[in-house]
Amino acid sequence: MNEPHSLAVVVAHPDDDAYGCAGSIALHENDPGFRFCLVLATDGGAGQIAEGVPTTRQELGTWRRRESVNAWRAHGTIPDRHEWLDYVDGHLAEVGFEELVGRILAILLEERPQVVVTFGPDGITGHRDHIAVGRATDEAFTRARQVPGPGLRRLVHGALRASTFERWNQTRQQQGMEPWNPAREYHLRPVPDDWIDIDVDTKQVAHRIVAGLLEHKSQRHVLVDPGVDERRWARIVSRESSVLAWPPRPPGSPLLTDLFEGL
Q: How many CB atoms lie within 10 A of CB 208?
A: 22
- The C-alpha atoms of residue 235 and residue 249 are separated, in whole angstroms, by 28
Single out the residue of 244, 235, 156 nearest to residue 194, CA to CA.
244
pTM of the model: 0.97
pLDDT tens digit sequence for 59-85:
999 999 999 999 999 999 999 999 999
Domain map (residue ranges) of the chain: 6-162+189-246
The residues near 119 (Cβ < 8 Å, ≥ 6 apart) are 11, 12, 16, 130, 131, 133, 134, 137, 157, 158
CATH tag, 6-162+189-246? 3.40.50.10320
pLDDT tens digit sequence for 97-127:
999 999 999 999 999 999 999 999 999 999 9
pLDDT tens digit sequence for 19-44:
899 999 999 999 999 999 999 999 99
